[in-house]
Structure 1
Amino acid sequence: MERIEHRAAAGGWQSVYRHQSATLGCAMNFAIYLPPQAENGPVPVLYWLSGLTCSEQNFITKAGAQRYAAEHGVAIVCPDTSPRGDEVADDPGYDLGKGAGFYLNATQTPWASHYRMYDYVVSELPALVEQHFPVTAARAISGHSMGGHGALMIALREPDRYRSASAFSPIVAPSQVPWGEKAFGAYLGIDRQSWSAWDTVALLSRPQTHTPVPLLVDQGLADEFLEKQLRPELLQAACDAAGHPLQLNLHAGYDHSYYFIASFIGEHMAWHAQALRN
């Protein structure tokens, strides 16, 4: 690994590293915030997944989460949102290709050779982080928009790996909205049945054999994507039907931006910290 950024923040250190990913077949950046408590021993980790067009930079520079991570003694790891590099397939649109990996494992050409963000986030990156940094195997996961989709979907698929999962403005049913239909059709092909394995609402309809991971979701009611792309009412209905624990908070006046995330990230950090202590 190569450390390419290193800055003091809230008594701890905000760094960015670059490494060669065997899973994605390209060089990848990830950000890690280590709170001051990490000087005295390993700390639990929150994995943050960002949204369309983002990289590892957006959350660490806009959310103001470091002060809350320092308060609770939690590390934060932020991967990039897709594979990168000249050899990686791309699309002219902002909602497919680089910056739009959707946290799944692609099966279709030309995407399948690099777009395996699910395996990267779930397996390769945590193994790397836990090998090289003072963190424990106690993990939580969160994200925004496309990353909110990733966080909820991953937690449902991997309930033994995460203590809690939260999201801001998540794409809860990608199989039923334009963003998801475009991405899933390209990455996974035309068989919509295969899409359900990567769709939060669809996953909630399956029989659950593990203790459910509790979900926390915050959604702004002035979000310009609320009715067409996000549809939190589908998540509420699916959780109600499955008996899955969900706290859905709706906020008048808030939009899809990082102003919304920065306003409530403290509550999310405290909620995750409690779960990570249990």
Structure 2
Amino acid sequence: AVVAPDTSPRGPGVADDEAYDLGQGAGFYIDATEKPWAPHFAMESYVIRDLASAVRDNFPVDGRRQSITGHSMGGHGALTLALKYPEHFRSVSAFAPIVSPTRCPWGEKAFTAYLGEDRSAWAAHDASALMASGRAVGHFDDILIDQGLGDQFLEGQLKPELFEEACAMHRQTLTLRRHEGYDHSYYFIQTFIGDHLTFHAERLK
């Protein structure tokens, strides 16, 4: 079963922002603590608790065998949730993820809004910081990341080398594939999604 949750809460009674990288459509897979985003923006709890329970309760699936993946902000979510809750997942992969939101404009903007000015609270939602701390080291036999080298956000926002360095610190196996000629678009995902489905299927067996 492939489950694709939305990227944020939606609706007329839910806080929003005119920018594409904040508010509805950009929940960043964290539980907001600041107004007006709390309590609706609780995407971490939604994915880990509510969505997982809904799937188990309504479909003939084994809730103990899960994998997680995502693109860009969703890739950030996939990595951080897998590292924070390794007991929930057999495998994790990502497409062009934001690997260190505490060190890029997208993440700094979102985390300030959702979590407040205290940056010490941000590290728990940063995949590179989690990996550097040794979180979930050894749980995953491999982590798969695909990144396009023609991605317009590569240097300023995504910075895959930061996660690569953190994995190397703890000898965590990481397959980071860099692809010439691919940008941040859905064609990039379409090209490599089959590899990710195979990667997860092998570990869910």
Aligning the two structures, in what range does the TM-score lie when normalised by the shorter sequence?
Answer: over 0.9
Matched, 1:270 2:198: yes
CA shift digits 1:54-78 (9 cap, x unpaired)? xxxxxxxxxxxxxxxxxxxxx1000
CA contact (8 A) 2:100 2:158 kept: yes
TM-score normalised according to structure 2 size = 0.97
Q: Give the count of matched residue pairs.
A: 203
Distance 1:226 1:210 in 2: 26
CA shift digits 1:36-70 (9 cap, x unpaired)? xxxxxxxxxxxxxxxxxxxxxxxxxxxxxxxxxxx
Note the aligned Cα RMSD (angstroms).
1.0
CA contact (8 A) 1:159 1:211 kept: no
2:75 to 130, 145, 148: 148
Could you say which residue in structure 1 is the equivalent of 2:189?
261
SS at match of 1:167: strand
Matched, 1:219 2:126: no
Percentage of pairs with the same residue:
55
Worse-matched range after superposition: 213-222 or 96-105: 213-222
Distance 1:275 1:230 in 2: 27
1:236 to 164, 187, 191: 164
SS at match of 2:37: coil
Letter in 1 for 2:10: R
Worse-matched range after superposition: 201-210 or 100-109: 201-210
Could you say which residue in structure 2 is the equivalent of 1:162?
89
Distance 2:105 2:136 in 1: 31
CA shift digits 1:201-249 (9 cap, x unpaired)? 1111213466422310000000011000001111110100122221100
TM-score normalised according to structure 1 size = 0.72
Query: How far 1:94 sits from its partner (Å)?
Result: 0.5
CA contact (8 A) 2:21 2:110 kept: yes
Worse-matched range after superposition: 200-209 or 214-223: 200-209
2:19 to 88, 93, 97: 93
CA contact (8 A) 1:218 1:250 kept: yes
Distance 2:8 2:179 in 1: 30
Matched, 1:136 2:62: yes
Structure with max Cα Rg = 1
Distance 2:9 2:150 in 1: 32
CA contact (8 A) 1:140 1:162 kept: yes
CA contact (8 A) 1:148 1:171 kept: yes
Query: How far 1:194 sits from its partner (Å)?
Result: 0.4
Structure 1: gaps spanning 5 or more residues: 1-74
Letter in 2 for 1:260: F
Letter in 2 for 1:145: S
CA contact (8 A) 1:212 1:245 kept: no
Matched, 1:107 2:33: yes
- Structure with bigger helix share is 2
Letter in 2 for 1:234: L
Could you say which residue in structure 1 is the equivalent of 2:8?
82
Distance 2:13 2:89 in 1: 33
SS at match of 1:143: coil
Change (3 A) 1:133 1:194: same
Change (3 A) 1:209 1:251: closer
Runs of 4+ aligned residues of structure 1 deviating over 2 Å after TM superposition are 207-214
CA contact (8 A) 2:79 2:92 kept: yes
